[in-house]
Structure 1
Amino acid sequence: MSSVTKTDVILIGAGIMSATLGTLLKELMPDWNIKVFEKLEQAGEESSNEWNNAGTGHAALCELNYTTEKPDGSIDISKAIKINEQFQVSMQFWSYLVNAKLIHNPIDFIMPLPHMSMVQGEADTAFLRKRFEALSSNPLFQGMEFSDDPAKLKEWIPLIMQNRPANEVIAATKIDTGTDVNFGALTRMLFNHLQSKGVDIHYKHSVDNIKRSGDGSWELKVRDLNSGTTENHKAKFVFIGGGGGSLHLLQKTGIPEGKHIGGFPVSGIFMVCNNPEVIEQHHAKVYGKAKVGAPPMSVPHLDTRFIDNKKSLLFGPFAGFSPRFLKTGSLFDLLTSVKPNNVLTMLAAGAKEMSLTKYLIQQVMLSKEKRMEELREFIPNAKIEDWDLVVAGQRVQVIKDTEAGGKGTLQFGTEVITAADGSIAALLGASPGASTAVHVMLEVINKCFPEQVKDWEPRIKEMIPSYGKSLMENPELLLEVHATTAETLGLSKKEPVFS
């Protein structure tokens, strides 16, 4: 039996979630020992990588799936409020890090960019108008504009309005406080900071097994992928933040909270514009409406992106299917995730989600020409030679038994599974994930360190002034947070300038 190395905290996976939790814990408890194990060669290479997600600072400014129409015709904005408030928490924490000089050059990871929703047809225009009225009266969504006037829309979205039939009914909302976030760059910045603070980061290391020790701590069997040697590491607290790889590790822990949970992998494909003249004509993130039967993560959007200090234009996502749980995963991931305790949950989901299965099969079969047809709903005169296909990240949608949905309900969103004693937590699920990372990791801290949280509260409030308060109910605090984060993160400037 090889010797065991003891540490306070182990983080599995070097993505935005582990980066955020590690940074928070290092601020709260500077003398704790923290170790990170990552299978790949560097941080932020899987779901957090800038090419593997939409790069939208999700604040419910443009995503129509966060607002639903109730049976009486009114609009339910409760989810939009929740997501917006959570994004404000991330913005405050990032500002704190910049002000404290723990990370530098926010322009490298966040840019101001208008967020827009766009719909076609009378019915959807009526819905968008009602949504605009419900949101714009709320302080969180101040500054939102609505227009169905073609002349106004030509100013906002010239590329989308080119060559449209004069009689086409089209409407949009626009808000200038939206952002484009490069989560890959931010993740790498945070890990550089953690390394400078003495955090041990082990790349090319795979966690093969995880089990409970007699003393209640967790023992991990970790394999060095370069040498093939294995080591045993022990920690009082473990966070499993391995993206699609988290489900298998959660199952290995054997905690009851991890049972009856399955995962269904969905991959994303984007079209990327290779023509600089076309890229220059668009400056916004424009979200449309999901097709009937399509899952919420496949809402079509035409996005300006800033990657490697260069302006890009992406359209998508088109859903794809691969049984892998990570882009770098195994073809057996889906199969090996089915266990005696979740097989009925998985089968129930299969029976329930026939329309999703059908949708995914249709998406996988799409030719490039068929994808161009969908793009032309946004850019009527798009040319096939101006666009290339890029495979984005794998997302594992959580399947679990819920009271509302019954057995085998597909969950869209981010789920944190925590052991009853708070000694281990795993993050599963997809969007709005990265945008709400700080809020989600504060939840992990609250659940897993209940004794310390009281003492930590003043320090958390220094980093996140709105902690424990609702910004919507404190308009003065909201204005202050908006102004200071915009100033610190360089979002007050309209157009980014690249040297």
Structure 2
Amino acid sequence: MSNVQNKTDVILIGAGVMSATLGSLLKELAPEWEIKVFEKLDKAGEESSNEWNNAGTGHAALCELNYTSEKPDGSIDVSKAIKINEQFQESRQFWSYLVDSKLIRNPQDFIRPLPHMSLVQGEQNVTFLKKRFEALTDLPLFQGMEYSEDLEKLKEWIPLIMNGRTSDEPIAATKIDSGTDVNFGALTRLMFDHLQSENVEVNYKHSVEDINRTEDGSWEVKVKDIDNDNLEYHTAKFVFIGGGGGSLHLLQKTGIPESKHIGGFPVSGLFMVCNNPEVIEQHHAKVYGKAKVGAPPMSVPHLDTRFIDNKQSLLFGPFAGFSPKFLKTGSMLDLVTSVKPNNVLTMLAAGAKEMSLTKYLVQQVMLSKEQRMEELREFIPNAKSEDWDLVVAGQRVQVIKDTEAGGKGTLQFGTEVVSSSDGSIAALLGASPGASTAVHVMLEVLEKCFPEHMFKWESKIKEMIPSFGMSLADNPDLYFEIHNSTAETLGLNKKEPAYN
């Protein structure tokens, strides 16, 4: 076993979409900086970013009902929907920049136009959806949304879902054609291909074992070369921990005050995948329903057309599962070893608060395939068991922290950046909307960690992301200009064939 010592400017831990995005931004803003990436698996985008480990939805709040809540007075709060949509527009702008600059050649390799729809049943839910539609439809970010309760129109939109439907319960849907299917695994690999062509050193099969502060304020990262069992020590002025579910353990190793009183709760996802091409061809949309009463936000059922390896697929889910692992390739001890003296009370408080979530997960884990098929039949009445297989998707670690609003041990369902006070190290925790808002989240990292460079970088950032620092909701002319230009560059104006 030999020890190797190396110095560099930036270390990125994890070769997922977040590190790919941050690395790509930094390479444009500070091309002279030396960047090293360490990934314990043998290629990029294999955990949360992998196309089989997430829903592939370009999350823009076009169809996800959990981003619009009903207020006590019955009105619809659209603030979160606007925020998430604006963040996705930043991603579209950056991806367009990469394509325009020939840094990525073919956008169809990672993004396709696909209608986004919301579908509800029952009088109360139909009333909610109609109010949601009325609250969103006049906003520039949601222009083009349609609403219908008409059965013939719904048969036209979603024939597979409407065929064989016998219930006389009220049903309604919204549809917007500007939605997207995004292959985040392919996007991640394309960005890493570009980074490697720019002399970024990407080290696969290298596991980060420890992170320590040095006397001069840099960070020393202890890395194990898995193939030959060598230990290497790399120091950098800035470290980003983008290791998906593995980020929490690495953040705890830093010892920074900001890492205290934070825990994580792992939830795994399972999808039903259609194996019958005739069924797959009958559906062309992402259709999101409403989470059942008492179910957590990440359990919103949806029936998705996906494009994976240039092949059309059809997935339904997610069904929640439980594993104490923080990564699909993680350890069964991940949850236990994440409990520390400084977060044990936070974790215990969360356990007491989230008994309903625990009960829900137990129920989900115990479901048989036929019980899962029954849930699928709420979407596709004629679904046949032999046409569908069960696939285990990615692990997500939901953040647990103490908050003013929720008190001790509050379970968070968003994406969160934790950084040191001096900005020398940052970690990304959490899950949805995740990859869809990667560019916004990484801009937040830049602002937190490189404030002294932001003035110098601002003009370049605005070249890459023209809406940077502005609200598109408050600037509709700018929004339409950006939305149209990114659609053109990314090939989103081309109509996908209804059936492949």
Structure 1 and Structure 2 fold alike (TM over 0.5): yes
Taking structure 1 as the reference length, the TM-score comes to 0.99
Q: How far apart in 2 are the matches of 1:496 and 1:147?
A: 23
Q: How far apart in 2 are the matches of 1:229 and 1:478?
A: 51
1:2 CA displacement: 3.9
Question: Hey, what does 1:319 align to over in structure 2?
Answer: 320
1:261 CA displacement: 0.2
Whether 1:178 and 2:175 are equivalent positions in the alignment is no
1:494 CA displacement: 1.4
Q: How far apart in 1 are the matches of 2:237 and 2:314?
A: 45
Which is worse superposed, 315-324 or 289-298? Answer: 289-298
Q: For residues 75 and 498 of structure 1, do their structure 2 counterparts lie closer, same or farther at Cα, with a shift above 3 Å needed? A: closer
Q: Match for 1:483: what amino acid?
A: N
Question: Hey, what does 2:82 align to over in structure 1?
Answer: 81
Question: Hey, what does 1:275 align to over in structure 2?
Answer: 276
Q: Match for 2:157: what amino acid?
A: W
Q: For residues 496 and 100 of structure 1, do their structure 2 counterparts lie closer, same or farther at Cα, with a shift above 3 Å needed? A: farther
1:277 CA displacement: 0.5
Q: Deviations over 1:363-406 (max 9, x none)?
A: 00000000000000000010000000000000000000000000
Pairs within 5 Å for 1:366-445:
366-445=367-446
Q: Deviations over 1:43-89 (max 9, x none)?
A: 00000000000000000000000000000000000000000000000
Q: How far apart in 2 are the matches of 1:206 and 1:340?
A: 25
Asked if the contact 1:471/1:477 (under 8 Å) is kept, the reply is yes
Q: How far apart in 1 are the matches of 2:30 and 2:416?
A: 25
Q: Percent identity?
A: 80
Q: How far apart in 2 are the matches of 1:69 and 1:137?
A: 18
1:167 CA displacement: 1.9
Q: How far apart in 2 are the matches of 1:253 and 1:476?
A: 45
Question: Hey, what does 2:27 align to over in structure 1?
Answer: 26
Q: How far apart in 2 are the matches of 1:343 and 1:350?
A: 10
Q: How far apart in 1 are the matches of 2:169 and 2:4?
A: 71
Asked if the contact 1:261/1:399 (under 8 Å) is kept, the reply is yes
Q: For residues 496 and 195 of structure 1, do their structure 2 counterparts lie closer, same or farther at Cα, with a shift above 3 Å needed? A: farther
Question: Hey, what does 2:43 align to over in structure 1?
Answer: 42
Q: How far apart in 2 are the matches of 1:442 and 1:6?
A: 25
Question: Hey, what does 1:469 align to over in structure 2?
Answer: 470
Unaligned runs of 5+ in 2: none
Q: Match for 1:239: what amino acid?
A: F
Q: How far apart in 1 are the matches of 2:463 and 2:497?
A: 29
Asked if the contact 1:111/1:496 (under 8 Å) is kept, the reply is no
Q: How far apart in 2 are the matches of 1:274 and 1:263?
A: 35
Q: Deviations over 1:4-59 (max 9, x none)?
A: 21000000000000000000000000010000000000000000000000000000
Q: How far apart in 1 are the matches of 2:4 and 2:246?
A: 26
Q: How far apart in 2 are the matches of 1:84 and 1:328?
A: 32
Paired residue secondary structure (2:295):
coil
Pairs within 5 Å for 1:323-338:
323-338=324-339
Question: Hey, what does 1:346 align to over in structure 2?
Answer: 347
Question: Hey, what does 1:197 align to over in structure 2?
Answer: 198
Q: For residues 166 and 400 of structure 1, do their structure 2 counterparts lie closer, same or farther at Cα, with a shift above 3 Å needed? A: closer
- Alignment size in residue pairs: 499
Taking structure 2 as the reference length, the TM-score comes to 0.99
Q: How far apart in 1 are the matches of 2:233 and 2:88?
A: 37
Q: How far apart in 2 are the matches of 1:121 and 1:283?
A: 24
Q: Match for 2:442: what amino acid?
A: M
Q: How far apart in 1 are the matches of 2:474 and 2:82?
A: 11
Q: How far apart in 2 are the matches of 1:17 and 1:247?
A: 15
Paired residue secondary structure (1:451):
coil
1:411 CA displacement: 0.1
Q: Deviations over 1:234-290 (max 9, x none)?
A: 000000000000000000000000000000000000000000000000000000000
Q: How far apart in 2 are the matches of 1:185 and 1:13?
A: 16
Q: How far apart in 1 are the matches of 2:4 and 2:160?
A: 62
Pairs within 5 Å for 1:57-456:
57-165=58-166, 167-456=168-457
Paired residue secondary structure (1:341):
coil
1:497 CA displacement: 9.4
Q: How far apart in 2 are the matches of 1:386 and 1:397?
A: 32
Q: How far apart in 2 are the matches of 1:376 and 1:76?
A: 31
Q: For residues 277 and 312 of structure 1, do their structure 2 counterparts lie closer, same or farther at Cα, with a shift above 3 Å needed? A: same
RMSD of Structure 2 on Structure 1 (CA): 1.0
Q: Deviations over 1:437-472 (max 9, x none)?
A: 000000000000000001000000000111111111
1:498 CA displacement: 10
Asked if the contact 1:260/1:400 (under 8 Å) is kept, the reply is yes
Asked if the contact 1:15/1:45 (under 8 Å) is kept, the reply is yes
Q: Match for 2:162: what amino acid?
A: M
